[in-house]
Structure 1
Amino acid sequence: MNIFSHKKSILITMGTGFVFLFFWWIQHPGARVESVSTAAPAALTVSVIEPQRQEWPDMVQADGSLAAWQEAVIGAETGSLRITELFADVGSVVKRGQLLARLADNSAAADVRKQEGAVIQARASLEKSQADLKRSQMAADSGALSSQKMDEYRITESIDRAALDSAEADLQSKRITLANTRVVAVDDGVISSRSALLGNVVSTGTELFRMVRQGRIEWQAELDAQQLARVQVGQPAHVRLPAGKIVNGTVRLVAPTLSTSTGRAIVYVSLAAGSVSQSGMFASGSIELAQTSALTLPESALVQRDGRNDVYVLSADGARVARRTVVTGRRMNGRVEVVSGIDVKARVVASGGAFLSDGVSVKVVEAAATKWEST
């Protein structure tokens, strides 16, 4: 037999063996399972905690707008004068007495100088009449002057004294008019609007500026009758601004009546000074009421699925977890109140619940947190 014939026989033998193995594998399907690894899936590693009983303030949620605590209108106190200078604009932070605008003061200054001359003249007339009265009294003592003439000197002195008083009052009025050509801030605050225009001739009482007194902004929360009955002056509040920032405040005033059209009342909340709140914003917030007991968990223990909140509770033997749907309430400092669904003795998976499923095997690597009862 040559080499070629020998190889051909070997191939035929191997082919026959493979065919035999193939038919045997089809007839014995159970053998295929034996070749697959039968190792159980690895248990997931979790840490568990127990719910904590804490004293939390009850909360009233509300919406409302932000407005100035008080607005001040700054207007012209003298009329028919032209605005010559402006020193403030919208957004300017000003102090009480700070110069905001100046009116033309030429005519007012001239009136002051004219009246000062009138005062000097009236004073001189009074001095003359006083001297005449003094001399007449000396003459009357010697019998050289009649009582009628003495009365004339006394009356003249009284008239000149009244004329001086009138002249001095007119001078004071002219000086006030001159001072009113300087428009100043009536209080510390922030300019919120400006209607003054350079060169405009204003009338007495014309509004030139409007300001937020002391820069204080407050939240005007709208509450219904049931909520209003639980709110008191001095309670803390937390307002979420449109940008997401939380601003703290305090209830300043509770409206004594409700609107007949809406059935709601306004609660005025003073916000912390220096916050980024601005008048005209619309914001949501909450007002803290009395303290009540709450069963709480870290927010990381909750899994949100299909609009519900779930937690995973460790079984009694500590080998598996079971899913529990809970009802949540208040949230504070990274924790959430559990209203129902678990009890205080439950051992809850602290985090990573999104990777678990009901009945899955787990391995606990961290001892359960010690339950804390608030005092």
Structure 2
Amino acid sequence: MPRFLPFTLLLALAACHSGAPAANAPADGEEAAVKPRAVVTVGTVQRDTVADVLRLSALSAYPAKDVLRATTTGYLLAPVPVPGQRVAAGQTVFTLQTKESRVLHLDKLTGDPRLRFSGIIRIKAGQAGVLATVDKLAGDYVQDGEQLALSYDRARFGFVLDVPVTQLRYVRVGQPCRIHLPDGRILPGRVAEVLATADAALQTQRYTVRPTGPVPELPENLAVQIDLDRTAPRLTPTLPRAAVLSDETQTQFWVMRLLNDSTAAKVPVRVGAQQADRIEIQSPTFGPQDRILLSGNYGLDDTAAVKVERRTVEK
């Protein structure tokens, strides 16, 4: 018996130490308290006037162009116009001297009243416009029918819009639209004409759109965006764009709603029309008491711990 006593004491001491709680082990409540919480802002669903918008690309164009051509063979006399110069209908734009007149100096013979032909030909503009290109210089020798300049009519300025055939039911002649310029300006416009041809490869039909208000100085072939309303404006619940989350394919959408002051849950939603900063929420129906996360919601799991920084009241 005495030889087994030390071994028994060691077993007793080991049992006592294994059953005693560690002095520095944190309690369950303390471990939960140190978990990080996302700082978020919240708001409520608001009712705004929205419309389902069809946005398409278009190019600026001057469809009514006037080609100024030489009416005979000869030499161009100074002065010669420059690109960008405005011309009036019937205004002399180029002066042409025939090669016979230059050789015989007919333009300087003034003594004989029977000599009615001086060899000076004046080429006039057929319509008012602005010279887009000037192809010849003073002193150049030109052939009969050769192009001298190209002018365009600013009054016929517009935009060429190619509409996919799948969207033709949303576009009609006379329909109002909004023209978004690259610098952020928005011009009111209207669908003016439709061409009775379609692109066989792209399956698009061409329309022309013209501004209905003052038109700034714009070049040809400027890429713009044109908005056409698919539906009439209506009053509907909306949320800020940042409040609505989606998957990578943008086929599933959801928002994060507060269950209490420290927990947010994931709620699937069905979205409708999307504007620049607001998105229509078609379902479910949220009440004025439902608090939706507006920021800090990205990457949160379902029933995530959050900390409300402030409550944002939507106007």
TM, length-normalised to structure 1: 0.60
One-letter code aligned to 2:46: Q
Q: Kindly tell me: are residues 68 and 329 of structure 1, through their superposed partners in 2, closer, same or farther at Cα, counting changes over 3 Å?
A: farther
Q: Kindly tell me: are residues 185 and 331 of structure 1, through their superposed partners in 2, closer, same or farther at Cα, counting changes over 3 Å?
A: farther
Kindly indicate whether the alpha-carbon contact (under 8 Å) linking 1:301 and 1:352 is maintained by their aligned counterparts in 2: no
1:94 corresponding residue in structure 2: 86
Kindly indicate whether the alpha-carbon contact (under 8 Å) linking 2:66 and 2:126 is maintained by their aligned counterparts in 1: no
Distance 2:268 2:301 in 1: 13
**How many equivalent pairs are there?**
285
Q: Find the residue that maps to 2:298 and give its secondary structure.
A: helix
Q: Kindly tell me: are residues 108 and 24 of structure 1, through their superposed partners in 2, closer, same or farther at Cα, counting changes over 3 Å?
A: farther
Does 2:265 match 1:322?
yes
Kindly indicate whether the alpha-carbon contact (under 8 Å) linking 1:222 and 1:267 is maintained by their aligned counterparts in 2: yes
Kindly indicate whether the alpha-carbon contact (under 8 Å) linking 1:101 and 1:184 is maintained by their aligned counterparts in 2: no
1:93-142 alpha-carbon deviations (Å, 9 max, x no partner): 4242676544348767457x578x24xxxxxxxxxxxxxxxxxxxxxxxx
Does 2:45 match 1:51?
yes
- From 309, 313, 316, give the equivalent of 2:257: 313
Please list, as runs of the form range in 1=range in 2, the aligned pairs for 1:269-288 lying within 5 A after superposition.
269-271=209-211, 273-274=215-216, 276=218, 278-288=219-229
- From 337, 344, 359, give the equivalent of 2:280: 337
Q: Kindly tell me: are residues 288 and 108 of structure 1, through their superposed partners in 2, closer, same or farther at Cα, counting changes over 3 Å?
A: farther
Please list, as runs of the form range in 1=range in 2, the aligned pairs for 1:200-215 lying within 5 A after superposition.
200-214=140-154
Flag the structure with higher helix content. 1
Q: Kindly tell me: are residues 332 and 93 of structure 1, through their superposed partners in 2, closer, same or farther at Cα, counting changes over 3 Å?
A: farther
Distance 1:252 1:110 in 2: 56
Query: If you compute each CA radius of gyration, which structure gives the higher value, 1 or 2?
Result: 1
Q: CA deviation at 1:237?
A: 2.7
Deviates most, 50-59 or 98-107: 98-107
Q: Alpha carbon RMSD of aligned pairs, Å?
A: 4.1
Distance 1:25 1:275 in 2: 89
Q: Kindly tell me: are residues 86 and 60 of structure 1, through their superposed partners in 2, closer, same or farther at Cα, counting changes over 3 Å?
A: farther
Structure 2 alignment gaps of length 5 or more: 1-12
Flag the structure with higher strand content. 2
Identity over aligned residues, as a percent?
16
TM, length-normalised to structure 2: 0.69
Q: Kindly tell me: are residues 100 and 339 of structure 1, through their superposed partners in 2, closer, same or farther at Cα, counting changes over 3 Å?
A: farther
Kindly indicate whether the alpha-carbon contact (under 8 Å) linking 2:177 and 2:226 is maintained by their aligned counterparts in 1: no
1:33 corresponding residue in structure 2: 25
1:261 corresponding residue in structure 2: 200
2:61 corresponding residue in structure 1: 67
Please list, as runs of the form range in 1=range in 2, the aligned pairs for 1:125-144 lying within 5 A after superposition.
none
Q: CA deviation at 1:337?
A: 2.6
Kindly indicate whether the alpha-carbon contact (under 8 Å) linking 2:93 and 2:122 is maintained by their aligned counterparts in 1: no
Kindly indicate whether the alpha-carbon contact (under 8 Å) linking 1:251 and 1:267 is maintained by their aligned counterparts in 2: no
Distance 2:80 2:17 in 1: 99
Q: CA deviation at 1:22?
A: 12
Distance 1:182 1:221 in 2: 35
Kindly indicate whether the alpha-carbon contact (under 8 Å) linking 1:99 and 1:185 is maintained by their aligned counterparts in 2: no
Structure 1 alignment gaps of length 5 or more: 1-20, 119-169, 371-375
Kindly indicate whether the alpha-carbon contact (under 8 Å) linking 1:235 and 1:289 is maintained by their aligned counterparts in 2: no
Distance 2:150 2:231 in 1: 39
Q: Find the residue that maps to 1:220 and give its secondary structure.
A: strand
> Which segments of structure 1 move beyond 6 Å, counting only runs of 4 or more?
21-27
Kindly indicate whether the alpha-carbon contact (under 8 Å) linking 1:300 and 1:352 is maintained by their aligned counterparts in 2: no
1:284-319 alpha-carbon deviations (Å, 9 max, x no partner): 54323442434321123234553444421122x454
Q: CA deviation at 1:35?
A: 7.7
1:366 corresponding residue in structure 2: 311
